[in-house]
Structure formats: C-alpha cells, structure tokens
C-alpha cells in the first residue's frame, strides 16, 4: 500500500518498507503520480535536478531506480512492479494500492450520491475519504510535480469538505458542524461558500441572530480586506434569514 496523503509511506501488510534516500522518494512519488504510464528519463532528471542535471545524472538515476526496485520487490505479489520501458520507467499499480486513488474514488462517489439526493450515502463516502488524510500530499517530498499536485489536491480536499458539510446540513446536523466550519473559515476567510453553510447551519439550529452576525463578519472582512461586498447568493440568504423566509435553494458551488 502506498500512502501519499501525508508523508510518503510504503507498507507491505503491517510492515513499513523504508525508502530513506530523498532522491529515491522523489522518484517513487513522481511514478505514483503517473501510475501505469511510462515516465521518461528526461522528466525524472528535470524533477530531481531542477537547476540542471549533472553529467552523472543518467548513471545516478539508474542506481536510484535499481535500489528502489529492490526496496519495493516484496510488493510484486500484490501486482506492483517497476519496469524499464523504452526511454523511461513504468510503475504498475493495481486498484486499491494507492490511497490517493481511493480518496478520489470515494470523493466521486460522494459527489454522485449528493447530486442524486442521498445525503446519508454522500456523508459516509466523503467522511471516509477525508479520514484518509494525514497531512499535505507527499509532505516530505519537494519536487515541482509534487508541488503542483499538492496545490491541486488541497483545493479538491477543501471541496470535499464542503460537500461533506453540505450533506450533513441536508441531514439536519447543521449545528454539529459549526465548530468545523469555524476552523475552515479561519483558514479561508474569503471563501463565501463556507460562510453560506455557516449561516445555514446556525439558522437551522435555532441560532438566527448568530447567523446574521456571521453575515456581518463576512461583510466586514470583504470590505476591509478586498474592498468588495458579499456576492448575491450570500446577500439573498441573509435577507431570507433576516425576514424569516423559508430557506433559499441549496447553494453548494461557486466561490469568490
């Protein structure tokens, strides 16, 4: 099992396979982000030596890959195999072996369930997906491809949290997710979709005045920091709560 959602970790059943050399970890990370595809020597060299490869780059790369192949050899029985193919390397990994792929599958299933009107099924899938995170993607590997994927996954993870919170709201558990929303808002104060859910959660839990106060907090933050006002969706929800109207249609997408 390869764990990418946090520091890189390689497990053979209950035993961890140590991959200690930084260059070997970087190679493995790149191969795992491009599974079942040939990753060229040139791409690996540019990732390993961003300032330009040394004259010994090819020999060094071959040595790193040889040692990496030896390290992960026990995983062959699980269908994992590192091969040289043409002008690069191919890491064969079956389904269920890389936690990142499992996370993406669960997130997709949760999104489908939410869209189909099954908030219970959505919450189950999305909570399971989010429970897999141990920190930033490949937190102990620092190469360009990993940095790009880390940024992409951070946004996906935040969207997954939002979908999960939406599912919880639809299940009538809004008041229970308020502390979680406070944490996300503190980290992403300009993300208006989080404020929408905060206002809905507070209002559904009988805390109408706090929901209105949340809108005023958002208004102040956007005005002071960006010189703008909350978007039309937020303003409409504020008016609905202010005048005690039935809740507006569910708002689950879009951000400033």
Residue 119 predicted with pLDDT over 90: yes
CA 169/CA 179 separation, integer angstroms: 13
CATH class for domain 2-92?
A: mainly alpha
Residue 65: closest CA among 83, 47, 40: 83
Per residue in 221-232, pLDDT (tens digit) is 999 999 999 999
Confidence (pLDDT) at 48: 95
Res 117: pLDDT? 96
Taking 90 as the threshold, does the pLDDT of residue 1 lie above it? no
Residue 14, pLDDT score: 80
The domains of the chain are located at 2-92, 173-256
The predicted model scores a pTM of 0.86
Task: Give the pLDDT mean for 78-100.
Answer: 94
E strand intervals along 55-103:
81-85, 88-92
pLDDT in tens, 196-250: 999 999 999 999 999 999 999 999 999 999 999 999 999 999 999 999 875 544 4
Quick one: pLDDT at residue 64?
Answer: 96
Average pLDDT of the chain to the nearest whole number: 92
Helix/strand/coil percent split, the chain, to 5:
60, 10, 30
Q: Two tokens at 217?
A: 């907090």
Q: Give the CATH H-level superfamily of domain 173-256.
A: Tetratricopeptide repeat domain (1.25.40.10)
pLDDT at 206: 92
Q: Is the pLDDT of residue 179 over 90?
A: yes
């Amino acid at each position: 099992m390869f764990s990418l959602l946090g520091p890189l970790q390689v497990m053979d059943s209950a035993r961890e396979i140590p991959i200690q050399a930084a260059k070997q970890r970087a190679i493995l990370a790149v191969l795992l982000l491009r599974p079942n595809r040939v990753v060229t020597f040139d791409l690996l060299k540019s990732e390993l030596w961003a300032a330009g490869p040394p004259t010994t780059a090819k020999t060094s790369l071959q040595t790193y890959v040889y040692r990496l192949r030896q390290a992960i050899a026990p995983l062959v029985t699980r269908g994992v195999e590192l091969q040289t193919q043409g002008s690069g390397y191919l890491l064969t990994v079956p389904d269920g072996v890389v936690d990142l792929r499992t996370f993406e599958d669960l997130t997709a299933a949760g999104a489908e369930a939410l869209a189909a009107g099954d908030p219970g099924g959505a919450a189950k899938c999305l909570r399971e997906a989010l429970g897999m995170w141990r920190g930033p993607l490949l937190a102990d590997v620092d190469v360009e491809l990993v940095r790009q994927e880390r940024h992409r996954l951070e946004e996906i993870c935040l969207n997954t949290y939002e979908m999960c919170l939406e599912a919880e709201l639809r299940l009538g558990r809004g008041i229970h997710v308020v502390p979680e929303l406070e944490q996300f808002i503190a980290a992403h104060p300009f993300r208006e979709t989080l404020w929408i859910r905060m206002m809905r959660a507070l209002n559904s839990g009988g805390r109408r005045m706090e929901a209105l106060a949340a809108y005023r907090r958002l208004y102040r933050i956007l005005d002071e920091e960006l010189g703008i006002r909350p978007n039309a969706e937020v303003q409409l929800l504020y008016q609905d709560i202010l005048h005690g109207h039935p809740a507006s249609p569910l708002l689950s997408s879009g951000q400033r």
